[in-house]
């Protein structure tokens, strides 16, 4: 090329990201008076500043995602629980309608859900019932089905109760331990609920006092008023608070985690039935009239067989009750002993953790594929939004188009991550 020849234009100019030379030339042409668009800037040199800058952006992004996950825990899980409660309301009302029942009391006094305690002296001593009634359950009750309503006016609780206390069951609301008598029957009926997530049904359970009312209406048509007798904190493996039961008296136990945000201990509320203001008490029935089978496996000390934890070398294997949808476990009688006459505190089937609060880290291995899948989809949404913004040279357009799919995918990503965390976190 001679001095007279014009320089040839760069064939790559204008295609994709401009070269540093062309970007500088444009800046000089503008007289340096205007700032270059982010799409026209030359790439940053990959020195220590570049490393520190990207590390800072990554940490900020992680922090924002953690704040978003906290928001999901507090409010997102509440949305799930509210949807489930709406469906449970329909199922419960339909069950009552199909059976031709109502939930009004047959005793004297107020109707559960509407009345108050008159006077200042409240007798919370459990009353012995001499002639309990036979109660027939609907066939095919499965874990997660609506079986009752619970109202605690003193702390503003009004929820539907489901059968079972697994992680999946308690996402719908409060759950009934199926290996304890049904509410309104002789013996100790036990109910568990979350304290910080999924609607926080038992968040203020520690605010109850002796004499406060707990009102329960069941799918069998009965309505019952229990009076709080005591509140205590116990260890997370102290299952005697559930199994201890007087076969001649109707009592109720409410269980949740404590302190708030952890599952290290259990907050337990004990209550006794007020027979004068309740429907007729029934004979104790476990597993809603279904017959469970006892399946016990032996494991070496310190090892955990499938479906439980090893204590004293034994645990219960995961199985299903023949002819039903309920998990099998060692049954307990209202008197506090198991079906084979042994102590429930020493019985492998009952001592095995059966409630959602005992789920540890990464307990739900089936969540891994879902977490990975939704995570990859989340990355694809972000990348697609960035490429759109780059092509149109409009950063706001990428944010506008990608925001809705990003939030939707992030919600389902969090939902599956939550399956792998302890229930109290």
pLDDT tens-digit readout, 165-193: 988 899 999 999 999 999 999 999 999 99
Q: How many CB atoms lie within 10 A of CB 368?
A: 13
0.75 surpassed by pTM: no
For residue 276, give Cα distances in angstroms to 46, 224, 281: 80, 10, 11
User: 70-289, what's its fold?
Assistant: Sortase; Chain: A; (2.40.260)
Full pLDDT tens readout for the chain, 425 residues: 555 555 565 555 545 555 555 655 665 555 555 577 778 888 888 899 999 999 999 999 999 999 999 999 888 899 999 999 999 999 999 998 887 776 543 333 333 343 334 334 445 566 666 678 888 888 889 999 999 999 999 999 999 999 999 888 999 999 999 999 999 999 999 999 999 889 999 999 999 999 999 999 999 999 999 999 999 999 988 888 888 878 889 999 999 999 887 878 899 999 999 999 999 999 999 999 887 654 333 333 333 333 333 333 333 333 444 444 444 443 333 334 444 343 333 332 333 335 566 666 777 788 899 999 999 999 999 999 999 999 999 999 999 999 999 999 999 999 999 888 876 55
Q: In the chain, what is the straight-line distance between the N-terminal and C-terminal CA atoms, in Å?
A: 72
| Domain spans, the chain | 70-289, 367-418
Query: Which pLDDT score, from 0 to 100, does residue 315 have?
Result: 36
| Exposure string over 270-305, b if 16+ CB within 10 A, otherwise e | bbbbbbebbbbbbbbbbbbebebebbbbebeeeeeb
Closest CA to 294 of 242, 243, 349, 352: 349
CA 239 to chain centre: 21
Q: 216 and 149 in contact (C-beta within 8 Å)?
A: yes
Nearest-5° angle of CA 267, CA 424, CA 229?
15
Query: Which pLDDT score, from 0 to 100, does residue 270 have?
Result: 97
Q: How many CB atoms lie within 10 A of CB 422?
A: 17
According to DSSP, the residues that pair with 175 across neighbouring strands are 162, 192
Q: d(Cα 118, Cα 211) in Å, to the nearest integer?
A: 11
134 Cβ contact partners less than 8 Å away, ≥ 6 residues apart: 282, 283
Q: d(Cα 113, Cα 158) in Å, to the nearest integer?
A: 9
DSSP letters of 209-261?
Answer: -TT-EEEEEETTS-EEEEEEEEEEEEETT-THHHH---TTBEEEEEEEEESTT
Query: Which pLDDT score, from 0 to 100, does residue 126 have?
Result: 62
Q: 181 and 251 in contact (C-beta within 8 Å)?
A: no
Q: 281 and 189 in contact (C-beta within 8 Å)?
A: no
Query: Which pLDDT score, from 0 to 100, does residue 349 have?
Result: 30
Query: Which pLDDT score, from 0 to 100, does residue 350 have?
Result: 31
Cα radius of gyration (the chain):
30
Q: Where are the beta strands (DSSP E) in 103-173?
A: 146-152, 157-163
pLDDT tens-digit readout, 210-240: 999 999 999 999 999 999 999 999 998 888 8
Q: d(Cα 105, Cα 222) in Å, to the nearest integer?
A: 7
């Amino acid at each position: 090329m001679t001095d007279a020849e014009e320089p040839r234009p760069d064939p790559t100019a204008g295609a994709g990201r401009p070269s540093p030379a062309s970007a500088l030339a444009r800046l000089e042409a503008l007289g340096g008076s205007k700032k270059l668009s982010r799409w026209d800037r030359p790439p940053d040199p990959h020195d220590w500043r570049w490393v520190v800058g990207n590390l800072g952006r990554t940490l900020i992004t992680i922090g924002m995602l953690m704040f978003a996950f906290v928001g999901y825990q507090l409010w997102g899980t509440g949305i799930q629980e509210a949807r489930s409660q709406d469906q449970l309301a329909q199922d419960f009302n339909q069950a009552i309608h199909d059976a031709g029942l109502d939930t009004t009391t047959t005793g004297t006094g107020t109707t559960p859900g509407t009345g108050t305690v008159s006077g200042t002296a409240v007798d919370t001593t459990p009353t012995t019932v001499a002639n309990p009634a036979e109660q027939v359950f609907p066939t095919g009750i499965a874990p997660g089905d609506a079986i009752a309503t619970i109202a605690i006016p003193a702390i503003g609780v009004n929820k539907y109760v489901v059968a079972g206390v697994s992680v999946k069951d308690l996402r719908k609301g409060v759950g009934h331990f199926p290996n304890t008598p049904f509410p309104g029957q002789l013996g100790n009926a036990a109910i568990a609920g979350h304290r910080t997530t999924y609607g926080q049904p038992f968040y203020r359970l520690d605010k109850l006092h002796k004499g406060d009312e707990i009102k329960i209406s069941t799918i069998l048509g009965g309505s019952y008023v229990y009076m709080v007798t005591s509140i205590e904190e116990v260890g997370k493996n102290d299952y005697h608070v559930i199994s201890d039961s007087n076969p001649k008296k109707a009592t109720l136990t409410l269980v949740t985690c404590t302190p708030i945000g952890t599952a290290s201990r259990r907050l337990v509320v004990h209550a006794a039935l007020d027979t004068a203001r309740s429907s007729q008490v029934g004979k104790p029935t476990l597993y809603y009239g279904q017959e469970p089978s006892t399946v016990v496996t032996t494991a070496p000390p310190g090892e955990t067989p499938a479906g439980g934890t090893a204590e004293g070398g034994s645990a219960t294997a995961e199985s299903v009750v023949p002819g039903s949808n309920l998990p099998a476990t060692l049954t307990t009688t209202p008197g506090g002993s198991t079906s084979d006459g042994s102590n429930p505190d020493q019985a492998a089937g009952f001592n095995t953790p059966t409630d959602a609060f005992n789920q540890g880290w990464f307990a739900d291995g089936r969540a891994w594929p879902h977490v990975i899948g939704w995570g990859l989809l989340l990355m694809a949404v972000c990348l697609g939004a960035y490429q759109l913004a780059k092509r149109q040279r409009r950063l706001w357009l990428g944010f506008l188009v990608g925001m809705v799919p990003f939030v939707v995918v992030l919600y389902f990503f969090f939902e599956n991550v939550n399956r792998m965390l302890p229930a109290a976190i």
